[in-house]
Chain A
């Protein structure tokens, strides 16, 4: 297998998922019309009256949604791989140290207030989720620090403890404000409430910075697999590297979660599948997890949108229902058992 073929495969998968996401929705657009619309754009021709609604649906509804889901999946896949490398733990996922529970708490708190119907008012709930998630990371990081080092065990323990605390507070808030219970619950199950290009443009800078730093730190993650002391002796500034990776991965996750709700399994399963198929070199694993996560979430979103059409299943349910059996199948068939 050449060095490029994993990327080719993943990109092909992603492209197929993107096309599927644009083509499928609750309104059935016949493939011939679809072809005419796409060729119409390509050659900048004007479309006949009958196709304008379909074109509008594709450009203004499906395309922003596709890009948002793509970015969310990329963030989850990439930060999942980074967390697994950072904590050297196969059970690590992007929500390990409390990003999801922190965001859930922020969102539940924000939903109990009636925000005015303005640009900032509509942005208030995702913003509250994002800020709460970043505050959680800060808190957990400070709690876990021991002098100048950050033992990973402490991070995990502090994260799990704070997650439990935040989750129970969230449940309390949800019980108290029964009027907004459904919206808070929808967030926790994972789903997209905002549409259009605004969410995409809002999270893009955070994702670019977060995922960019992660991809540049592939070699660092490889070194960290040897353990903190070994990596230090190999010349890596361990504390600084861990902090950067932690912050970058959490930034990407927090930005994605604030608009998409808590979508599980993508951050856990996709890196494992990529590792089983293409090896555990993080320089390659990180970009592949990013691409694979984007494709996987796109597929899950297509299913979530079509199964109960015109209603939408929360995406988090589909990822769990589909992801778990798929991963078990991959695990059983893997030739390199003991890949971890």
Chain B
């Protein structure tokens, strides 16, 4: 008898699972204040500010107005939002967002080891700005909960960065400010290019961003902004002809390559020029002997936001101090 009951229960469970997922009704999310962005709905009477975007995942999103409550899921997005003047519209951020100072007062919704969908929903955002660093499953989960998610793709060049800045300006209603920001960034980059155009030698640079194992430190390879900015700042990145974006270099290769300068991107984790000089085997490098080991703020070359230009200028000043005398 019990077995028959069990078999019946199992068959019921299997039949239940055979129902399509769309059959389960989902309660509608609570309405948000302000102009509601609608997804892929064409309005019957053409409104003057209908904006259509295609985001980093290839999805098409339509907005009827600028977003007023934004949740940022990446530190770079937070920096971009503040840079285009949309800082007041930010209502939630991820834990890694630490620049500018004003972000620390905004509530967090998650970080490296996952985001809390509840916390994001409770903030009632009308736009969630995701970045390349967020997995597509997170975007799908938030979409299923009725939120509007825009994934800002990681730029590969500075031009793509400018496009991202303009997009965020349009999304948040700060088009003029974004355009002004892009112009000023372009001006600063052009100034750097002009200065760098007049150099005679390009120093070789070893940029270290992880030296947990001092005999095999990590550096930036081709395809990363670290590599791109070092090249643009008038240096030759040791990692430029390596295989992969974040690659290990053995100490032996480093000794052969003998870079003119060593930049410590892991300075935030406690690496100092003194510690580097104390590493066994590193004292033979000419950069260590001449004292050309400098700490560097890694955020300036890894976060795909306006501070990349700050990074470019900082690199130029380190690589070619003679241009700034």
Check if B21 is an interface residue, CB within 8 A of chain A. yes
Binds A, one of B37-45, B112-120, B282-290: B112-120
> Taking CB as reference atom, which chain B residue is nearest A196?
B144
When each residue 18-35 of chain B gets 1 if its CB lies under 8 Å from chain A and 0 otherwise, what string results? 110100101111100000
B21 x A314 contact (CB < 8 A): no
Binds A, one of B135-143, B227-235, B268-276, B310-318: B135-143
| Given contacts A53-B30, A195-B144, A310 and B115 within 8 Å (CB-CB) | yes
When each residue 42-66 of chain B gets 1 if its CB lies under 8 Å from chain A and 0 otherwise, what string results? 0000000000000001110000000
Determine how close the nearest CB of chain A comes to the CB of B26; give it in whole angstroms: 6
A59 x B27 contact (CB < 8 A): yes
A310 x B245 contact (CB < 8 A): no
From A25, A208, A312, residue with most partner B Cβ within 10 Å: A208
* A182→B24 CA distance, assembly (Å): 33
A204 x B13 contact (CB < 8 A): yes
| Chain B residues positioned under 8 Å from A178 (CB to CB) | 244-246
* A159→B124 CA distance, assembly (Å): 49
Q: Can you list 13 A-B contacts with CB-CB less than 8 angstroms, sorted by A residue number?
A: A27-B121, A53-B124, A56-B27, A57-B122, A122-B137, A183-B135, A205-B14, A208-B17, A209-B10, A212-B9, A212-B13, A311-B115, A312-B116
Determine how close the nearest CB of chain B comes to the CB of A235; give it in whole angstroms: 18
5 tightest A-B contacts by CB?
Answer: A310-B116, A204-B17, A212-B10, A195-B141, A208-B13
| Chain B residues positioned under 8 Å from A239 (CB to CB) | none
Q: Secondary structure of the A side of the interface?
A: helix
When each residue 175-200 of chain A gets 1 if its CB lies under 8 Å from chain B and 0 otherwise, what string results? 01011001100100001011111100
A56 x B245 contact (CB < 8 A): no
Determine how close the nearest CB of chain B comes to the CB of A49; give it in whole angstroms: 8
Partner of B112, one of A25, A59, A60, A311: A311
Partner of A26, one of B9, B95, B116: B116
Check if A243 is an interface residue, CB within 8 A of chain B. no
Binds A, one of B75-83, B103-111, B160-168, B301-309: B103-111
| Chain A residues positioned under 8 Å from B57 (CB to CB) | 117
| Chain B residues positioned under 8 Å from A196 (CB to CB) | 141, 144-145
A117 x B118 contact (CB < 8 A): no
Check if B241 is an interface residue, CB within 8 A of chain A. no
Determine how close the nearest CB of chain B comes to the CB of A275; give it in whole angstroms: 22
> Taking CB as reference atom, which chain A residue is nearest B115?
A310
* A243→B77 CA distance, assembly (Å): 53
| Chain A residues positioned under 8 Å from B19 (CB to CB) | 201
From B59, B115, B116, B124, residue with most partner A Cβ within 10 Å: B116
A193 x B137 contact (CB < 8 A): yes
* A121→B18 CA distance, assembly (Å): 21
Given A27-B119, A186-B113, 4 more contacts at CB 8 Å?
Answer: A196-B144, A204-B17, A205-B13, A208-B13
> Taking CB as reference atom, which chain A residue is nearest B151?
A117
| Chain B residues positioned under 8 Å from A115 (CB to CB) | 136
Q: Which of A11-69 contact B (CB under 8 A)?
A: 25-27, 49, 52-53, 55-57, 59-62
Check if A172 is an interface residue, CB within 8 A of chain B. no
B3 x A216 contact (CB < 8 A): yes
| Chain B residues positioned under 8 Å from A128 (CB to CB) | none
| Chain B residues positioned under 8 Å from A62 (CB to CB) | 118
Check if A262 is an interface residue, CB within 8 A of chain B. no
| Chain A residues positioned under 8 Å from B29 (CB to CB) | 56, 60
Check if B102 is an interface residue, CB within 8 A of chain A. no
| Chain B residues positioned under 8 Å from A116 (CB to CB) | 58
| Chain A residues positioned under 8 Å from B246 (CB to CB) | 178
A313 x B113 contact (CB < 8 A): yes
| Chain A residues positioned under 8 Å from B26 (CB to CB) | 59-60
A122 x B108 contact (CB < 8 A): no
Check if A215 is an interface residue, CB within 8 A of chain B. yes
> Taking CB as reference atom, which chain A residue is nearest B11?
A208
From A122, A308, A311, residue with most partner B Cβ within 10 Å: A311
> Taking CB as reference atom, which chain B residue is nearest A287?
B6
Determine how close the nearest CB of chain B comes to the CB of A112; give it in whole angstroms: 13
B121 x A198 contact (CB < 8 A): no
A198 x B10 contact (CB < 8 A): no
B3 x A27 contact (CB < 8 A): no
B30 x A310 contact (CB < 8 A): no
> Taking CB as reference atom, which chain A residue is nearest B95?
A311
Check if A149 is an interface residue, CB within 8 A of chain B. no
B27 x A194 contact (CB < 8 A): no
* A198→B29 CA distance, assembly (Å): 18
| Chain B residues positioned under 8 Å from A59 (CB to CB) | 26-27
B17 x A201 contact (CB < 8 A): yes
Q: Which of A52-100 contact B (CB under 8 A)?
A: 52-53, 55-57, 59-62
* A178→B135 CA distance, assembly (Å): 14
Q: Which of B86-133 contact A (CB under 8 A)?
A: 95, 108-119, 121-122, 124
* A216→B3 CA distance, assembly (Å): 7
Check if B256 is an interface residue, CB within 8 A of chain A. no
| Chain B residues positioned under 8 Å from A308 (CB to CB) | 113
Check if B194 is an interface residue, CB within 8 A of chain A. no
Check if B1 is an interface residue, CB within 8 A of chain A. no
Check if A232 is an interface residue, CB within 8 A of chain B. no
Determine how close the nearest CB of chain B comes to the CB of A298; give it in whole angstroms: 17
| Chain B residues positioned under 8 Å from A179 (CB to CB) | 245
A60 x B18 contact (CB < 8 A): no
Partner of A194, one of B9, B109, B121, B137: B137
